[in-house]
Structure 1
Amino acid sequence: MTLCTHAGQARPAVLNPRVKVGGQPTAVLTAPWLVTCAASGVPRCVTAQWVTGTTRVRSVGVPLVIQGGTAVCAPSGGPLAVVAVQPRVRGI
């Protein structure tokens, strides 16, 4: 689960079916994220874009989103926080 600074949930607009983790598709760094923001009185987060992700693992030539990556919400400029993850991946 990924949240904006206002506790709004974020999800990828496009999933990557080529690589799965725990049976679920992953998200690539270039895919936009949609944010359902609960903020009031401040600019609500509408979208987010990841700017850093995996450094050695790629799918379709693009890095994947990871817990330690960095994302920026628009129009607020706040970050996304990853609060639930698949903790370990093993490639075969």
Structure 2
Amino acid sequence: MASSRWIRPEVYPLFAAMGVAVGICGFQLFRNITINPEVRVNKQNRAAGVLENFEEGQKYSENFLRKFVRNKKPEIMPSLNSFFSDPQN
């Protein structure tokens, strides 16, 4: 009875949106725990205090996606935009 009340076809987009949001949060949590230089999980690393590890921080902040997108134009469909905007085509 309760499942027929809450699980209707109208609610599926809400479940999908919430699932994507929870997935993104979980990914970011996992990424921060595993490779963030400022997060220290074990006791030995926490006792080290503030570390001056600029190289590791630079490596963390300059990830693959940023390096890939850095020299690209901010366009969604570059070939379609150039087709309609360039007069020589």
Larger Rg: 2
Higher helix share: 2
TM bin (shorter chain): under 0.3
User: TM-score w.r.t. structure 2 length?
Assistant: 0.23
Of structures 1 and 2, the one scoring higher in RCO (CA 8 A, sep 6+) is 1
Higher strand share: 1
